[in-house]
Amino acid sequence: MINIVNLLLLSATSDALITFKNSQLIQQSDISPKGPYPNGVQFPCPGSGCTMYATQTLANSVGIYKGDKHMTSLDKIYKVDNDYLVGYHLEGGSDYRIKQTSTISDTFKIYIVSDVAVVDISFGLSKPLDASGKRIVTILSARWPISFSNYVGVSAPKIYSAGFDSVDHCKPVYTSRSVANAADSDIGI
């Protein structure tokens, strides 16, 4: 059951490295040896740091580095608790890099969110989601389609294909005319 005002989708529809004001979305093709960043993607963790979320575990095929020091790998970042992704926190710094360290046969997405971002947000998997009381929910998925149905809420929802920190600057990909319309909708995104 979905009970939200804004639903943000970071799914298989995004096919490039995307940088928002306080977050960044990186996928497997960005850091592959034949991709646009074969030596990895650098990213900052301003202030007290940032939190990383991954769509799946790939053993240690993807490494996170601070300078030349290996900090962790994707298999340690990917964690799920009650069908929600649990983030992995990195301390503040400007010299982080994520890079592929061995061959990967499956796709993944990594969402990096700066601690300077102040939001009420949950990171859910592509499963039924009850987001009661949440204003914004981010669904991070490397698979599609994602289905929106069985809406229950007090106001008509909007669905964006953008980061939570870009809602004010983006147009929604779906806007319900009413709560009743949203309740009767079954949309594949």
Q: pLDDT per residue over 128-147, tens digit each?
A: 556 566 666 666 665 555 66
Amino acid found at 170: C
Instruction: Tell me the range of 18-27, 103-112, 114-123 where mean pLDDT is highest.
Output: 18-27
Domain boundaries, the chain: 4-12+119-188, 18-114
| 40 in Cβ contact with 65 (< 8 Å) | yes
Nearest Cα residue to 55 out of 137, 126, 129: 126
Percent of all residues in the chain with a pLDDT value above 70, rounded to a whole number:
65
Per-residue CA distances from 82 to 109, 127, 151 (Å): 20, 11, 20
Q: Which pLDDT score, from 0 to 100, does residue 6 have?
A: 43
Q: Which pLDDT score, from 0 to 100, does residue 66 have?
A: 93
Q: For the residues 168-188, what does the mean pLDDT come to?
A: 78
Higher pLDDT, 11 or 54: 54
Task: Assess whether pLDDT exceeds 60 at residue 61.
Answer: yes
Q: Which pLDDT score, from 0 to 100, does residue 119 have?
A: 53
Lowest mean per-residue pLDDT among 5-9, 13-17, 89-93, 152-156:
5-9
**Please, what's the largest Cα pairwise distance for the chain?**
54
Say how many C-beta atoms besides its own lie within 10 A of residue 22's C-beta: 19
**d(C-alpha 133, C-alpha 117), whole Å:** 19
Strand 18-19 to strand 147-149: parallel, antiparallel, or no bridges (unpaired)? unpaired
pLDDT in tens, 66-99: 998 999 988 888 887 766 777 889 999 988 999 8
